[in-house]
């Protein structure tokens, strides 16, 4: 996170004021593998296929082809100057856009020059494999969705059987919706308040493009940098968070979400409010575990277990806090067996004598924070 003087950056294509309400929009790309795995093509890769805002988007198609040269038994056939003799002599391509009736002819894939065949490589399969490329263009007026790439190889002077490959073209990038939680954000002296950001973005994927966020005061030069927002499942929902401290300016603020892909950049905004909260008590919480959860009965007398966890004050680690460790045998009351303390991260850890029964930990409250008792964890014998 970063906090500093406000820096106003103009988006390449303007900004949009967003409504709330988020929904999943961008589905993962899937392709019907018709060319891949056939006689001619083992792999086909299309990078950054999306509808642009203004300029044309030139997309490169890379195909891994095999059996480029003619064979002489198990070896590559030598021609003039000991060069390999081409078997795959051309690889034509055309593409049918979503909603279009007729395909567009593309430049043929550029095939490599024949290599020199030697005793060392005459039987090497990789000599007949190469990556070849062609390109196609997507304009701002094109439709996103499923496009069909047709590849037509020529071997030995005759057609070798065309094949189709579906290509997913993503929609034009857009920040469709965004929200800040909580809204309003209540800041309090002496404590940090977590502020979560969520944005619905079209046309950007985990592996193609980037989404960033900033929280900017409308009344001062203060801002918080959320940084790059994360996407979990290519579902179009991007998330991030920062912490506001007690000195944060109150009033109207704006969430700025910027989505980038290729040369395109768009910005969406959503307003929210920061208020001064009361100095009332805050809650605490404990994440608690005991390891191991069982010990051998024959070793119980000499065995130890480790009690550990993390103590939180509101959403922040509760550092330098005394933690009391309790144990309870079946039919007995809880008994204090030791104490430990939390580190700066709120974490604690203590090695204690293994006992059959339940363990739990407890922190005492203060005038500003409620105390908390953890869940009970049972340790048995095996």
Cα separation, 17 vs 15, in Å, equals 7
pLDDT tens-digit series, residues 119-152: 999 999 999 999 999 999 999 999 999 999 999 9
Residue 191 to residue 278: CA distance in whole angstroms:
12
Residue 77, token pair as written in the block:
């056939």
Same fold, 2-24+173-276 and 41-169: yes
User: Is it the case that residue 104 has pLDDT exceeding 90?
Assistant: yes
For 41-169, the fitting CATH number among 2.60.40.10, 3.40.50.360, 3.40.50.410, 3.40.605.10 is: 2.60.40.10
pLDDT exceeds 60 at position 20? no
Is the CB of residue 248 less than 8 Å from the CB of residue 274? yes
The correct answer on CATH 2.60.40.10 for the domain covering 2-24+173-276 is yes
Q: What three-state secondary structure class fits 299? A: helix
249-287: pLDDT as tens digits: 999 999 999 999 988 999 999 999 999 887 667 889 999
Q: Mapped to the 3 state alphabet, what secondary structure does 254-297 carry? A: EEEEEEEECCEEEEEEEEEEEEECCCCCECEEEEEEEECCEECH
Overall pTM surpassing 0.75 (yes/no): no
Q: Give the pLDDT of residue 364.
A: 94
pLDDT digits (tens, 9 = 90+) for 55-66: 889 999 999 999
pLDDT of residue 256: 97
Q: Is 128 helix (H, G, I), strand (E, B) or coil?
A: helix
Q: Would you kindly state where each structural domain of the chain is located, as residue ranges?
A: 2-24+173-276, 41-169, 284-381
Pairing state between β 264-276 and 185-187: parallel
Q: In angstroms, how far is the first alpha carbon of the chain from the final one?
A: 48
For domain 284-381, the CATH class is mainly beta
């Amino acid at each position: 996170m970063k906090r500093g003087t406000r820096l106003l950056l103009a988006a390449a294509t303007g900004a949009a004021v967003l409504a709330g309400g988020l929904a999943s929009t961008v589905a993962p790309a899937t392709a019907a593998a018709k060319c891949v795995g056939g006689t001619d093509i083992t792999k086909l890769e299309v990078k950054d296929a999306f509808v642009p805002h203004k300029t044309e988007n030139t997309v490169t198609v890379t195909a891994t082809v095999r059996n480029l040269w003619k064979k002489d038994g198990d070896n590559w056939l030598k021609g003039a100057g000991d060069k390999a003799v081409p078997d795959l002599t051309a690889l034509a391509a055309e593409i049918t856009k979503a909603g279009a009736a007729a395909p567009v002819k593309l430049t043929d894939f550029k095939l490599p020059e024949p290599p020199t065949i030697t005793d060392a490589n005459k039987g090497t399969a990789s000599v007949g494999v190469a990556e070849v490329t062609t390109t196609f263009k997507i304009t701002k007026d094109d439709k996103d969705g499923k496009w069909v790439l047709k590849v037509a190889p020529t071997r030995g002077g005759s057609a070798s059987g065309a094949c189709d490959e579906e290509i997913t073209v993503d929609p034009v990038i857009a920040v469709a919706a965004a929200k800040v939680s909580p809204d309003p954000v209540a800041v309090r002296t002496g404590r940090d308040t977590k502020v979560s950001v969520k944005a619905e973005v079209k046309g950007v994927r985990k592996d193609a493009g980037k989404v960033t966020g900033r929280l900017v005061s409308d009344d001062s030069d203060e801002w918080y940098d959320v940084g790059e927002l994360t996407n979990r499942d290519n579902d179009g929902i991007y998330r991030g968070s920062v912490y506001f401290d007690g000195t944060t300016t109150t009033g109207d603020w704006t969430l700025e979400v910027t989505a980038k892909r290729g040369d395109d950049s768009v910005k969406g905004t959503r307003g929210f409010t920061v208020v001064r909260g009361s100095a009332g008590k805050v809650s605490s919480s404990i994440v608690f575990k005991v390891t191991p959860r069982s010990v051998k009965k024959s070793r119980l007398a000499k065995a130890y277990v480790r009690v550990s966890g993390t103590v939180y004050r509101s959403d922040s680690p509760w550092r330098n806090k005394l933690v009391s460790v309790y144990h309870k045998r079946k039919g007995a009351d809880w008994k204090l067996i030791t104490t430990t303390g939390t580190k700066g991260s709120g974490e604690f850890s203590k090695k204690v004598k293994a006992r059959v029964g339940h363990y739990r930990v407890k922190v005492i409250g203060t005038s500003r924070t409620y105390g908390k008792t953890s869940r009970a964890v049972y340790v048995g014998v095996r």
